[in-house]
Amino acid sequence: MSDEAIRPLEEQICFALYSASRSVTGRYRELLAPLGVTYPQYLVLLILWETGTSTVRQLGDRLELDSGTLSPLVKRLQVLGLVTRTRSTLDERVVEISLTPAGSAMSSEAPRIAEQICASTGFGPVDLAGLQQQIATLATQVRQFA
Amino acid sequence: MSDEAIRPLEEQICFALYSASRSVTGRYRELLAPLGVTYPQYLVLLILWETGTSTVRQLGDRLELDSGTLSPLVKRLQVLGLVTRTRSTLDERVVEISLTPAGSAMSSEAPRIAEQICASTGFGPVDLAGLQQQIATLATQVRQFA
DNA sequence: CACGATTGTGTTGTGCACAATGTGTTACGG
DNA sequence: CCGTAACACATTGTGCACAACACAATCGTG
C-alpha cells in the first residue's frame, strides 16, 4: 500500500466510481430516451416532483451543481414544455422553477424507471442501500477536503 | 421497496454514484492543476505509464471510451508535449500513442497523488479496496444489461 | 484477384460540468 | 437617504461524453 509502484487503473477507487457512474447514466439514457430527457434533467424533475417548486439556488444545493450548469439545463426543460421559469415577486433575483401539467404527469414513469435500474445492478435492495450509504459517505468526506 | 412513492434523490444509488464521482474528480482537479492535465487525461497517462505504448483502441477498451472522446483528448496531450501519435506501419488504420520523456517523467508524481486521494476519502485501505470491488462489480453488471 | 463486410480512426453536433466574469438586486452601515 | 458590500442569476469559454456519420485500410470468401 505504501508501495511506490503505480497501481493499475482498475484497482483505483477513482476509476471504479468514474466508470460505474458512466455505465449507470448510460443505462438511464436508454430508459429516459422515450421521455426525451437526459439524466441530469431527470434529476431536476425528481426534485420538482418532490417539492412542486424550487429556485435555481435550491436545485443547485441539492444536486451540487452551479447555475452555469443548471441555467441552460432548465431552459431546455422549459422548451420541452415540462417546467416554467418565473421571477419571484418578493425577490427579483430569484427564479422559481415549477412543473407544468406535462411535467407533473411524467412522474408516473419514475417508479418503473427506478425499478429497472435496481434490477440492472444485480444487487439486492439491502446490499444496494448499504453500498449507496458508503458511497454517499465517501462523497461527503471528499467534499469536506475542499 | 415495491412502494409506488418516488424515493428522494439522496437515497438513490444513481445519485450517490453521480455525486461521488464528481466530488472525487473535483479533488483530482485540484491535485492535477499544477501538472496542467485534466482527470481523463491523467487516466490515459496512467495506462501509458504501465504499457509504454498503446493504440487508441486499447486505450478505449481499458477506459470504456470511444474514439470520439479519445481522439481530441490525446491531441491535447500531444500539444502539451506529453505523448506522440504515429501511424502503425503494419496496419495503417492504427494510431500508436507513446510517452515523450516529459510524459514519462510525470509518472513520479503519481504515487503522491494517489496517496492524497486515498487520504481524502476518510476510508482505510481495506475498506476502500472492498468498496472499490463492489462498485466495479456493479458497473460490470449494469454494462452487461446493454 | 475481386468485392463486400469489418475495423480503426476522425469529424460533427448536443448536452453536461465547471471556472471566470458580468449584471442587476437587495441589504447594511453611515 | 447614499454608497457599498453581498448575493442570485446569467453568460462565456474549455473540456469531456456520446451518438451519428464519414472514410480509409484491412480481411474473408469465392
- Cα–Cα distance for residue pair B1/B3, rounded to 1 Å: 5
Kindly report the average pLDDT of chain B as a whole number.
92
Q: How far is the CA of B113 from the C1' of D9 (A)?
A: 36
A121: nearest CB among B13, B117, B121:
B13
| pLDDT at residue B1 in the model | 47
Residues of B in contact with A107 (CB under 8 A): 6
Tell me which of B145 and A49 has the higher pLDDT: A49
Within 8 A of B8 by CB-CB distance, chain A residues are: 46, 50
B25, closest residue in chain A (CA to CA): A14
Q: Mean of the pLDDT values across residues B15-32?
A: 96
Give the mean pLDDT of A131-136.
Answer: 95
* pLDDT attached to residue B10: 74
How many angstroms separate the CA of B76 from the C1' of C1?
Answer: 43
Cα gap B58→A67, rounded to integer Å: 37
Are the Cβ atoms of B146 and A27 closer than 8 angstroms?
yes
pTM over 0.85: yes
Query: Which three cell numbers, joined as nine digits, stand for B52?
Result: 509504454
Residue A1 has pLDDT above 50, yes or no: no
The whole-angstrom separation of Cα B2 and Cα A107 is 16
Residues in Cβ contact with B96 at an 8 Å cutoff, skipping those fewer than 6 apart: B53, B54, B55, B85, B86, B87, B88
Picking from B9, B57, B111, B4, the residue whose alpha carbon sits closest to that of residue A58 is B9
Judge whether A94 and A87 are in contact, CB under 8 Å: yes
- Percentage of residues in chain B having pLDDT higher than 90: 88
Say which residues have a Cβ less than 8 Å from residue A99's Cβ, sequence separation at least 6. A45, A48, A49, A52, A53, A82, A83, A84
> Treating both helix axes as pointing N-terminal to C-terminal, what angle do A39-51 and A67-79 enclose, rounded to 10 degrees?
80
Domains defined for chain B, CATH in brackets = 9-143 (1.10.10.10)
Instruction: Say what the pLDDT of residue A92 is.
Output: 84
**Residues B20 and A136: beta-carbon distance below 8 Å:** yes
Span B82-131, pLDDT tens digits: 999 999 999 999 999 999 999 999 999 999 999 999 999 999 999 999 99
Contacts of B21 in chain A (CB under 8 A): 17-18, 20-21
A104, pLDDT greater than 80: yes
Q: What percent of chain A has pLDDT over 70?
A: 95
Q: Residue A59 to residues A52, A74, A91, A92, A135: CA-CA distances in angstroms? A: 12, 10, 17, 17, 21
Give mean pLDDT, residues B58-62.
Answer: 96
